[in-house]
Amino acid sequence: MSGLEAAAAVSGLIGLTITVIDASIQIYDAVKDKSGIPEKLRKVSNTLPSLVELLKGAQAQFNKDQPPKQAWIEVEQEVKRCQAACQELHDILESAYPKADAGTVGRVFKNVGNLVSRKTKTAEEWLKEIHGYLEILKQRQIITNAALLDDIKKTVDELFPRPGLTQNNVSGTNIGGDGQVFYNNNTGSGQQFTGHGGNFTFNSK
Strand 199-204's sheet: what is its strand order?
A: 171-174, 181-186, 199-204
Q: Which pLDDT does position 131 carry in this prediction?
A: 98
Cite the DSSP H helix spans in 114-193: 123-139, 146-159
pLDDT-above-90 percentage for the chain: 59
Q: Rounded to whole angstroms, how far apart are CA atoms 72 and 15? A: 14
Number of residues that make up the chain? 205
pLDDT of 100 higher than 80: no
8 Å CB contact between 17 and 55? yes
Short-list 112, 132, 103, CA closest to 43: 112
The model's pTM is 0.73
The domain ranges of the chain are 3-161, 163-205
The whole-number average pLDDT for the span 9-26 is 97
Q: For residue range 25-52, what is the model confidence (pLDDT) as tens digits?
A: 999 999 888 888 899 999 999 999 999 9
Residues ≥6 apart with Cβ < 8 Å to 49: 25
**What number does CATH give the domain 3-161?**
1.20.1410
Q: Which pLDDT does position 36 carry in this prediction?
A: 83
CB-side exposure of 116: number of CA atoms within 13 Å? 7
Q: For residue range 159-203, what is the model confidence (pLDDT) as tens digits?
A: 999 876 544 444 444 444 444 433 344 444 444 444 444 444 444
Q: Residue 113 gets which letter from DSSP? A: G
Of these ranges, 26-30, 99-103, 117-121, the one predicted with the greatest mean pLDDT is 26-30
Encode burial over 2-20: b for 16+ CB neighbours within 10 A, e otherwise.
Answer: eeeeebeebbebbeebbeb
